[in-house]
């Protein structure tokens, strides 16, 4: 019985560790967007002064962004403030980011500095 409990705990620990690394290391802070996390595998297709548009296969207009991405955003101190269709507004201090999730496309828009 003790061996079974130890085995289950070891599996849970390994699973949690893998989840942590896969989730948290899949995103990098964006200097342009006040360190807002951006998926590492998202490909920047258009960048302007306040806007970046990425091709990202995990973005969806119907389902938004994956829950792991939401968790990373929250863990970095960003709070979801408002949702309007495909747009989700995140706030940290006095900074606001509009994240727009469309099918295979992710758009970040920052508020004026």
- Residue 110 to residues 23, 29, 38, 60, Cα–Cα distance (Å): 24, 14, 13, 20
| Single pTM value for the model | 0.83
SS3 56: coil
Name the domain count of the chain. Answer: 1
- pLDDT digits (tens), the chain, 113 positions: 888 888 988 888 887 777 766 666 789 999 999 999 999 999 999 999 999 999 999 999 999 999 999 999 999 999 999 999 999 999 999 999 999 999 999 999 998 76
Structural domain of 18: 2-110
Strand partners, 74: none
**C-alpha span between 110 and 89 (Å, rounded):** 10
- Residue 29 to residues 7, 25, 35, 63, 96, Cα–Cα distance (Å): 36, 10, 4, 23, 15
């Amino acid at each position: 019985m003790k061996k079974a409990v130890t085995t289950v705990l070891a599996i849970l620990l390994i699973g949690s560790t893998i989840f942590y690394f896969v989730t948290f290391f899949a995103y990098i802070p964006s200097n342009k967007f006040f360190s807002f996390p951006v998926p590492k595998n998202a490909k920047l297709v258009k960048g302007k002064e306040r806007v970046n548009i990425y091709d990202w296969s995990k973005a969806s207009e119907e389902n938004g962004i994956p829950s792991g991405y939401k968790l990373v955003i929250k863990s970095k101190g960003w709070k979801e403030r408002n949702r309007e269709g495909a747009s989700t507004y995140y706030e940290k201090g006095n900074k606001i980011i509009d994240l727009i999730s469309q099918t295979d496309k992710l758009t970040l828009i920052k508020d004026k500095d």
